[in-house]
Amino acid sequence: MQYTIRISFDQNCDTPMGVYQVRLASENPSADSFGVKDITNSSVIVPFGTTVSENPDGTYSYVFTVENGHLYNVSWEVTGNAGESPSYKTYQVGPFYSVNNDNIRATTSHTGKFTQGGLATLLLKITNFNGMPVDAEDIYIEVYNEGSGDLVTLDNNIPEHVDTGFYVIDWNIPTDQEKGEYRVVWNYVADDIQKTEVQNMVISEKNTTTATLMYTGRELEFRLALEHHLNCAQSIPVYFEQARPSRDNKIFKFSFGNWNQSSGVQIYRNDNIVNCGIEVDYFKGKVIFDEELLPQEKVNADYNFRWFSDEELQRFLNNAVQLVNIYPPASNYNLGSVPNQFIPVILYSAAKDALRHIMMCLQFQQPQQVFGGEEGAQRAFSNMEALKKNYEGEVDKLLENKKYGRYPRIAMNVVPEYTLPGGRSRWFRMLFK
């Protein structure tokens, strides 16, 4: 498939203007020499120093062949006037899909920190165009060092299947892992089509914090249970919202991220439903068009989003555990070790913090629009305040019982009974409390 890259210049924002020289060239050729580079397989597509002619006035364009599912680095070298030092503009384009593959899209994300000795969780969501999750038939990841191009040896390169179309993998980064840029390549087959997704990261100095596994065991179970208490806040519909365009008119962002894929999404271009040529980023709430749109065009979307991210829910739960710990008698539990008897107080306390979070957001203009404006947001605030007080009352009652410990517990109540001089107590009673 052919793809055209362009760079334009103008004077006073309306008069096209040519420059002395435009080339496709990277800024540091001694470290990485390219004009256009396929970062999916680290091959140079357009050589360093390729000259680009002006056509039409003030516009410089170049056409090259792109591969299905690949990402590319493009680097422009611009010299305004003879003898001046050049300036550089480097950016990514892609991934690109042929007509037969337009139905399957995927987005990547991550949690945690990419640090030496740390743990980071990589995520991939696969859907068809209508937003319905699609499982991969075969899936694995590869990690490459951008500097050397070497393949990194992983303990496990097969992601965990968390839910339909949702895959995660934990990378325990060695303490001696080389610092620098890395590239994660997701390889998978969906609907009998081989696909590739690429995400970039930077590994920095040794981590000084303790990372946790967010998508396994009790951590996941607690978050799913908390979402039952916040069900409506985790499934909020938005209809026909107009997007904010990027400078290149290819990326269009919406007010809220964390879109629910299972609810689907509908994208409109100039009031017409779009069925191909776009990628939907469900994590960040944005739409990426394969080709740039005209400045006068507009993009709208119907979508359904979660008010709270997984990281926010995790914070509420961790705070709730610490509340249990500081209440007498003091304890030292975490989400993995807290006894089952404290599950209700943790969930109610986390739900209380979540409501407080929404109530704070409702003081600002953009979140108020979800409830129909300032007046509707004020009514929602009052209702949430009553519900929050209900949770607070339940939490206080449950925490008061912590000092009594587990039930039943055995206690001994001795009742002496005296006889004539020289006598002694004859019996005692054992009670169960």
- Give the mean model confidence (pLDDT) for residues 74-87: 89
- Give the mean model confidence (pLDDT) for residues 310-334: 91
Residue 323 pLDDT greater than 60, yes or no: yes
The pLDDT value recorded for residue 416 is 59
Q: Please report the beta strands in 282-350, taking only residues with DSSP state E, as ranges in sequence order.
A: 286-289, 299-305
Residue 388 pLDDT greater than 50, yes or no: yes
Residue 50's alpha-carbon distances to 45, 77, 289, in angstroms, are: 11, 10, 27
Contacts of 423 (CB under 8 A, 6+ apart): none
Helix axes 310-326, 374-400, angle to 10 degrees: 40
Angle at 422 between CA 419 and CA 428, to 5 degrees: 50
The pLDDT value recorded for residue 200 is 77
Among the residues of 137-201, which ranges form H helices? Answer: none
Peptide bond preceding 29: is omega within 30 degrees of 0, i.e. cis?
Answer: no
- Give the mean model confidence (pLDDT) for residues 180-199: 82
Residue 48 pLDDT greater than 70, yes or no: yes
Are the C-beta atoms of residues 189 and 136 closer than 8 Å to each other?
yes
* Phi, psi (rounded to 5 degrees) for 307: -65, -40
The pLDDT value recorded for residue 150 is 78
pTM: predicted TM-score of the whole model, two decimal places? 0.52
* Token pair of 37 as six digits: 């580079």
User: What is the chain's mean pLDDT, rounded?
Assistant: 82
Question: Given pLDDT bands bounded at 50, 70 and 90, which one contains residue 50?
Answer: very high
Q: What is the per-residue pLDDT across 410-432, written as a single tens digit (0 to 9) for each? A: 555 555 555 556 555 555 454 44
Q: Distance of alpha carbon 31 from its chain centroid, rounded?
A: 31
The Cβ of residue 129 has, within 10 Å, a number of other Cβ atoms equal to 18
Residue 433 pLDDT greater than 60, yes or no: no
Q: What is the per-residue pLDDT across 61-73, written as a single tens digit (0 to 9) for each? A: 898 888 766 778 8
The pLDDT value recorded for residue 9 is 82
The pLDDT value recorded for residue 320 is 94
Helix axes 217-229, 343-361, angle to 10 degrees: 60
Among 7-11, 16-20, 301-305, the least confident range: 7-11
Q: Distance of alpha carbon 83 from its chain centroid, rounded?
A: 46
Q: Which residue has the higher pLDDT, 252 or 14?
A: 252
The pLDDT value recorded for residue 193 is 76
Question: Given pLDDT bands bounded at 50, 70 and 90, which one contains residue 358?
Answer: very high
Coil/strand/helix, residue 220: helix
Residue 264's alpha-carbon distances to 98, 120, 129, 259, in angstroms, are: 22, 28, 9, 9
The pLDDT value recorded for residue 213 is 60
- Give the mean model confidence (pLDDT) for residues 228-254: 89
Measured distance CA(415)–CA(429) in Å, rounded:
7
Residue 352 pLDDT greater than 90, yes or no: yes
Question: Given pLDDT bands bounded at 50, 70 and 90, which one contains residue 207?
Answer: very low
* Token pair of 119 as six digits: 């743990």
Measured distance CA(134)–CA(214) in Å, rounded:
22
Among 75-89, 137-151, 326-340, the least confident range: 137-151
Are the C-beta atoms of residues 17 and 4 closer than 8 Å to each other?
no
